[in-house]
Structure 1
Amino acid sequence: MAYSKEFITDLYRNLLGIRLSEEKLVAIYKEGRVPGHIHSGVGQEATHVGTLFSRKEGDYFKLAHRVVSISHVLGVPFKNIYAEILGRQDGNSRGGGGVNHIADFSKGVLGMSGTLGCDMGFAVGAAYKLKMEAKDNIVYCFYGDGTSNRGPVHEAMNWAAAWKLPVLFVLDNNQWAISTCIYESCAVENPGADRAASYGMASKVVDGSDVIAVYEAAKELSDYVRAGNGPAILEAKNYRWRGHFEGDQCKYRDPAITEKWQKKRNCVKRMENYMLENDFITEDEIKRMYGEIDVELDAAVEFAEASPRATAEDLFNNIFA
C-alpha cells in the first residue's frame, strides 16, 4: 500500500512520542516521583498506535492498563496524563484515578476498570448506543492475553456478536499475565483470533512490532465493522519487555528471550529503518524529533509536579451523576 510522507511521518511521530513517554514514566518512577505502580508498555506501542490510526471522529475507546500514555494519540495532553499519574488535580480525573484510569469523554476515551476484563461490558454498551444512533462509528476495545481468559470478556463478546454491535476487539498479546505465560494458561495458540470463530467474528493475527502492518490490519477490520457486519477481533503478537509492574524482577522468565525481542522486534527502530530506506525521513530529522518530544515531556512533568495534589476530600467528588 502506498503512503504519503505526511501520513508516515505523523504515524512515526506518534509512535516515538508514546515510546519516549513510556520511558519517561519509568525514569521518574525510579526517582520516587510517582505514587503507586506503573505498568510500562515499552515495546508494545505499535499495536496501540497503529490500531488507533484507523479511527475516525465519533469513535469510542476502551483502552488497556498498558500502554500507559496511549490516550495522547487520541488528543489527551501529556501534561494532563502525567498530572493524573502523579495524583494531581490537573489530571483528567483530578488525580483520583491514577495510572490505570486515564479517561476523557470529550475524546471518546471511556476509561477502564482496575479489575481487568470487567470493563469489556461497558465498551459493548457504548457500541449498542452507536448502533441505536445508526452511526458508522465503532468502539475500539483493547485487552490482554491474560484478560482473554476471564468470564466477563466472553460475556461481552457474546453480547456484541449476538446483536452485531460495532466493536473492534484488540488483543495485545504480550504473552504474560503477571507471571503466567499464555502457553500455560490457554489451549489455543491465538487466544483472540482462534476463539473468534466461536462467536462468528472475523479476525486477523498481526505482528505487533510492525506499526504499518498493525494499521493495515486494523483498517481492514474497522472498515468491516463500520459496514454493519458486527464485531471483529484483531490479535497483535508482542512481548512484554518489562515486568508486570516496575520493580518486578521477572525471575519467572528467560532474560535471553526478552533481550532477543528488544533487539529484533523494536517497533520504533523498525519504523525508523523503514522510513530511512524509503526516503521518508533523514537521520537529522529523527534526532530533531527526539529532542522536540523530550522537551514536551519535560514540560509535562514540570506542569504535573506544579499542580496541586489531590486531597482526601476529592474522593467524594464525582461519585454520583
Structure 2
Amino acid sequence: MVRLTRAQQQERTRAAVLAAAGQEFAERGYTDAKVDRIAERAELTRGAVYSNFPSKRALYLAVLVDSIEPAGPAEALSRFARARLERLPMIGDTSAGGKLRLRSLAGVFDDDPGRTTLAQAAKLEALLLALTLEAAAPRAGRRVRLAELVLTLLDGAGHLADTAPGFGDPFDVARACEHLAGLDLADTWDPPYLPFVPLADVVEEPWRPPASSRDEITGRQVGLDADGVVAVLGADRLEAAEEAVRAARPGDRITVAVVTSDPAETGRLIRLRVGDLIGCLRGVLAPDAWQGPHLVLDDGSAIASAAGLPDADDTTEAAVRVRAGEIVARARGRGAAYAAATAED
C-alpha cells in the first residue's frame, strides 16, 4: 500500500475537487451546480471540499483560473502529466480494457517499419511538448531533452500500470515531472550534419497548395499561402521538423506536411499520437496560445505535389520556401528543412 505524505494528500484532494468541479460546472452551470454532487464526483466528503475552497463561488473561480492561468515550465509539466496519467489502468480493469484505456500500441506495430514510425512520432511529440515549455520560459532555451525525459517517465508509468495496475501513485509521478523542469540538461540544437547540408535550389515556380488544410495541433482549417517554409516529411523522417522550427526567420510561417504511403494505418497512428499529446496539453495552453508550426497530414499528397514532390512517400525529406505566392527555394534529402529555412530570397 502506498503511503502519502500530508502535503501529497492535500494536493491530491485539491486536484480531485477541481477536476470534479470542472465537470459539474460544465454540465450544469454555476447556478445549478451543487457542492454535494462535486464531493460525490470526487469521492470525497462535503467537508473535504470546503476545507480546500470556502464557497462554491471560490471553487468556480479556482476552476476558471486553473484553466486559463499561464503556466511556468514546472506547472506546465505538472498539468500535462496529470492529464496524461488520468488514463492509467485501474485495478478493476481487464487487461484488454486497461490497454484500450491507456491507448496502448503494444503488439500493434511489432514490425520494423512500424517501430520506425513510432520512434519518429515520439520525436515529434517531444518537439511539440518542448515548444510549449519553451514558450512558458523563453529564456530557458531548448527543452527537447527535457520533453523526451518527461515522456519517457510517463510512458514508463503507463507500461508499469498496464502490467501491475494500482502500483505507485500517479500524483508522485506528476510531482516528479514538475521537478524535472529544474534540471539543467545543457540542451542545445547543433546537429553535426548542418555544416554539410547543400544549399537549397533557387527556383521560380507558382505555389498552388490546397485552399485550406486541417491543422492537427489546433484542429482548425489553415491556409497555406503565407510566406514561410513548408517541410514535406515522410512518416519516417518526422524528427526533421525541428530543423524548420529552429532555422526559421522571425515572422515565417512553418508548416509541416506529413506524407505517408499508408494513410489508413500510418496516418492514423500519427494523428493518434499528436492528438493525444495535444489533448493533454489543453490544460497548459491558453486558447489561441499555440505559436508553433502547423502540422498537416497530407494524406492525398496535394501539398507535396504543389511543392513539386509528386513521388513523396514515408522516407521523403524535402522543403520549400514560399514568398508572395511563389516557390523561391527547394531542397531535398538530409537537412532539406534547414536548407529551405535558411535560403536567401
Query: TM-score surpassing 0.5?
Result: no
Bigger Rg, which one: 2
With the length of structure 1 as denominator, give the TM-score of the two structures: 0.27
* TM-score, with structure 2 as normaliser: 0.25
